[in-house]
Structure 1
Amino acid sequence: MKRFLIWFFGIIFLCIILLLITDNAYILKGIRVVYFTGHSTAFIDDYSYFENETILASTHPQPWQKHEDFGTLTPTETLSEANKNYETVAFLIIKNDSLIYEQYADGYGITSQTNSFSMAKSITSALLGKAIQEGYIKNLEQPVSDFYPQFADTDMTVGDLSSMSSGLNWDESYLNPFGITARAYYDDDLAETMLSLKVVDTPGQAFKYLSGNTALLAMVLQKATQQPLSNYLSKSFWQPMGFEQPALWQVDDETNRLVKAYCCLSSNARDFARFGKLYKDFGKWNGKQLIDSSFVAQSIQPRFESSPEYGYGFWLSDYNNKEIFVMRGILGQYVITIPEDDLIIVRLGHRIPRTKIDNFTTDFYLYVDEVYAMLNYL
């Protein structure tokens, strides 16, 4: 046994040395954050293991109004079972801009902060719209090389980053610990990682979902606005839209403090829902145009006929012949907005099903169907 332990710890030591030598030490952080906490992947409460920028609550909070039928709706048996199986921690229904249904579970509540995961991509795209409106960026066709000469030999534009058509050689693999997705999540100096990428496909020609697009877009926005993206988010949306709670946005390290704009904005269900309302109302909030309406309209329509599932920062669906736009995160984080029925559905939780229909896992369709059943639409 003694000899075995010597060999065992010797091998571990050599592996650690090898990871350090090959610049893969971030894997050690991944192991500590994920496996040593009893998880098998990134999880909704992992923000406490990273450096974060704080986005303060609005100085003039604007709570959601309660619908006259608030507290009267009962979840369907199918919805209750799904929420149990997929470990839903927050489920909200907002009808006609009023909160009509709200349920929390497992100790989570109104103020609980959980990881947005890729819902943050939609918010980062909204910041692009704001930067265009304020003149920091010319338009969707402005070349990325205007901000980063490393891409001077390409035709990649800021719009290509937002619409997932950059042609970058990013590998969107969540299982490979040596891949760039894991490195971006757990390593320091995210900018160094991003600027090592190359454009290998013609930009602006086809949709290909890559988190690296949004990470690079964040760098462009910071350079264009000359301020941290968390500050720009606070001034652009958090303050004027009356966000009730502070939020945390993960950054790469304590020195560089570049936000992980493709993910990792920790907020609550009520506040995430505000972006659904903002885009439902074409960028207007309480009578003030926060983003140009034409940018919003373009964002929630497909850029490519061959890829009707995505616009600029938002997933799209025509389920039940309704035009639906969606903020979506990897563990089933959703802000589902159905403008024609003035309806917003928010779901936050730990798990999603593995089965998929078209471009969404089956839980998406279930949530839509069961909410309509609760509201007696069908």
Structure 2
Amino acid sequence: MRVVLRILKALLALVVIVVIGGAIWLYVRPPELLRVGDGYAAKIVCSNVFMAGRDPDAVLYEDVQAPGNPLLRLVRVSVNREEGKVSARILGLFAPGHALYRGAFGCTSVPDGDYQAAANAAPEEDLAVPPPSEELWPEGDRVAASNNPKLAPLLADAALAGPAMRAIVVVHNGKIVAERYGDGFDARTPLLGWSMTKTVNAALVGRVMLAGKLNFDDAHLFDAWRGDGRSAITLADLLGMESGLAFNEDYGAVADVTRMLYLDPDMVTLPVNAPLVDKPGQTFRYSSGTAVLLSRIWMDRLGDPQRAFDYPREALFGPLGMSSAVLEVDARGTFAGSSYLYATAHDWARFGQFLIQDGVWNGQRMLPEGFVATMRTPTQSSGGKYTQGQAWLAAPGGDLSAAAGLPADTFWLEGHDGQSVAIVPSAGLVVVRMGLTPSRLGYKPQMLVKQIVGALSSP
């Protein structure tokens, strides 16, 4: 019996040693996967609490834990509203992730925990969103009653709207003719566009081109590329995702994209130092790093850092009336043009209407002649699915729009977890659909758009 007791005591001691050792390991050198999870949780909670006014526990559960990796259910967050800080830790103890709210520049992930450096990376500007205007959209936010009774049932159809729909807005011939919102969301709620941000960032490139500071054939774009094959990469190569740079966009594990977004305070570092694995202009490789490089390029071409920080609002959001739009900045001062634009569904619809009008707003040309055409021109290397201007001809899910029964001129903004803006020039139609709908659920917004096209074209 004594031998058994000794064995049990030894096993218990071993278990205690393993647990203590594991805890020390998690505390001192947490795995990258846990750091990414906590960084992601802190960032998403920060943006939704401070910009959308949502409850942090609801955001943690609904936006981070419910649709994500099961490990995220172990995350606990703390919010310091006075200092604009959010921290997230596995079990409340390990692999801390941090985020900081910076007013007009939204929230940023702070992977190194250096809040002061992150605060100094962007100017101090309050986020001021004006009250809703009583003018009709797009000049204001008032929406007239639709005169097409066929639209409301389509938006109310759960199968067409998709799981966890948060907003649908239908614009026809320049007017909002139908809209619907999910529980807890409305026309004033800023919503994350994820990769739809890339197309908006491309429009900022176009604005700088119109000012004569950039051209499609510009090369020698970064000093780090001097003297090697990367110096031949052109602005057009980046816009078409044909740079030839290595970049892993797999969200199933720790990859280049998650390292860039949640482990590196300077998002430019990873993509600018990526090796060249294909000749520029010949291979399609979807890359959020490419979009961050585009942000850095247009910011640098403006010359004045303060002007660069003001540019999205002054050159694009302000003229279009996108008063809710916040393009967030990383912890070292580069706009996260790959992923982080928050805007209301009305403002996402304004941007779609801007593109359907060929980059003209209130009679003023704001994008170069032919620039929107690049957003509708396929790249050969993508099999015709991606365009030369950071947009999609393929509908979400991969089929070309025509194969989905949509007009052949349809093109898309598309973002992670079910964000989309369908633009159908021939039908004068923009359809915004926002939600939290992981791709594994198989939802395809083109079915909704197809039904709307049919309803608007029928007598």
Query: TM-score when scaled to structure 1?
Result: 0.84
The alpha-carbon deviation at position 349 of structure 1 amounts to 0.1
The residue correspondences of 1:160-239 to structure 2 (distance < 5 A) are: 160-177=237-254, 179-187=255-263, 188-226=265-303, 227=305, 230-239=309-318
Taking a change above 3 Å as real, the CA distance of residues 12 and 89 of structure 1, as seen in their structure-2 partners, is same
SS at match of 1:193: helix
Task: Please point out which of 334, 343, 346 is paired with 2:432.
Answer: 346
SS at match of 1:216: helix
The alpha-carbon deviation at position 315 of structure 1 amounts to 0.5
Task: Please point out which of 363, 369, 372 is paired with 2:444.
Answer: 363
Taking a change above 3 Å as real, the CA distance of residues 151 and 203 of structure 1, as seen in their structure-2 partners, is farther
Task: Please point out which of 157, 165, 171 is paired with 1:80.
Answer: 157
Question: Cα RMSD over matched residues?
Answer: 3.4
1:259 aligns with 2:335: yes
The alpha-carbon deviation at position 74 of structure 1 amounts to 4.4
Letter in 2 for 1:338: V
Query: Aligned residue for 1:283?
Result: 359
Using the alignment, how far apart are the partners of 2:173 and 2:142 within structure 1? 10
SS at match of 2:187: coil
SS at match of 2:347: helix
The alpha-carbon deviation at position 48 of structure 1 amounts to 8.6
The alpha-carbon deviation at position 31 of structure 1 amounts to 6.3
Q: Is the CA contact 2:268–2:296 (under 8 Å) kept in the aligned structure 1? A: yes
1:7 aligns with 2:86: no
Taking a change above 3 Å as real, the CA distance of residues 240 and 57 of structure 1, as seen in their structure-2 partners, is farther
1:17 aligns with 2:28: yes
The alpha-carbon deviation at position 207 of structure 1 amounts to 2.0
Using the alignment, how far apart are the partners of 1:25 and 1:132 within structure 2? 38
Q: Is the CA contact 2:271–2:290 (under 8 Å) kept in the aligned structure 1? A: no
Query: Aligned residue for 1:358?
Result: none
1:29 aligns with 2:39: yes
Greater relative CO, 1 or 2 (CA 8 Å, sep 6+) = 1
Query: Aligned residue for 1:241?
Result: 320
Using the alignment, how far apart are the partners of 2:162 and 2:421 within structure 1? 20
The alpha-carbon deviation at position 197 of structure 1 amounts to 1.2
Query: Aligned residue for 2:419?
Result: 333
The alpha-carbon deviation at position 198 of structure 1 amounts to 1.6
Task: Please point out which of 181, 194, 208 is paired with 1:117.
Answer: 194
Tell me, which stretches of 5 or more residues in structure 2 are unaligned? Answer: 1-11, 46-56, 73-83, 87-98, 107-126, 394-399
The alpha-carbon deviation at position 5 of structure 1 amounts to 5.9
SS at match of 1:291: coil
Taking a change above 3 Å as real, the CA distance of residues 353 and 30 of structure 1, as seen in their structure-2 partners, is closer
The alpha-carbon deviation at position 285 of structure 1 amounts to 0.4
Query: TM-score when scaled to structure 2?
Result: 0.70
SS at match of 1:315: coil
Using the alignment, how far apart are the partners of 2:408 and 2:244 within structure 1? 31
SS at match of 2:315: helix
Taking a change above 3 Å as real, the CA distance of residues 127 and 366 of structure 1, as seen in their structure-2 partners, is same
Q: Is the CA contact 2:204–2:312 (under 8 Å) kept in the aligned structure 1? A: yes
Deviation string 1:187-236 (CA, Å, 9 cap, x unpaired) is 21212223321221111113221111101111111111133655211111
Taking a change above 3 Å as real, the CA distance of residues 32 and 192 of structure 1, as seen in their structure-2 partners, is same
Give the number of aligned pairs: 364
Q: Is the CA contact 2:161–2:445 (under 8 Å) kept in the aligned structure 1? A: no
Taking a change above 3 Å as real, the CA distance of residues 167 and 79 of structure 1, as seen in their structure-2 partners, is farther
The structure with more radius of gyration: 2
Query: Aligned residue for 2:453?
Result: 372
Letter in 2 for 1:148: D
Query: Aligned residue for 2:223?
Result: 148
Deviation string 1:115-159 (CA, Å, 9 cap, x unpaired) is 11000000011111111110121x11101x244343542211111
Deviation string 1:17-37 (CA, Å, 9 cap, x unpaired) is 2248x9995554346668993
Deviation string 1:10-66 (CA, Å, 9 cap, x unpaired) is 31320332248x9995554346668993415499xxx99544515755899822674
Q: Is the CA contact 1:127–1:233 (under 8 Å) kept in the aligned structure 2? A: yes
Taking a change above 3 Å as real, the CA distance of residues 190 and 23 of structure 1, as seen in their structure-2 partners, is farther
Query: Aligned residue for 2:211?
Result: 134
1:94 aligns with 2:162: no
SS at match of 2:370: helix
The alpha-carbon deviation at position 362 of structure 1 amounts to 5.0
Tell me, which stretches of 5 or more residues in structure 1 are unaligned? Answer: 356-360
The alpha-carbon deviation at position 325 of structure 1 amounts to 1.2
Letter in 2 for 1:29: G
Using the alignment, how far apart are the partners of 1:23 and 1:368 within structure 2? 37
Q: Is the CA contact 2:221–2:233 (under 8 Å) kept in the aligned structure 1? A: no
SS at match of 2:430: strand
SS at match of 2:377: coil
Query: Aligned residue for 2:181?
Result: 104
The alpha-carbon deviation at position 365 of structure 1 amounts to 2.1
Taking a change above 3 Å as real, the CA distance of residues 246 and 6 of structure 1, as seen in their structure-2 partners, is farther
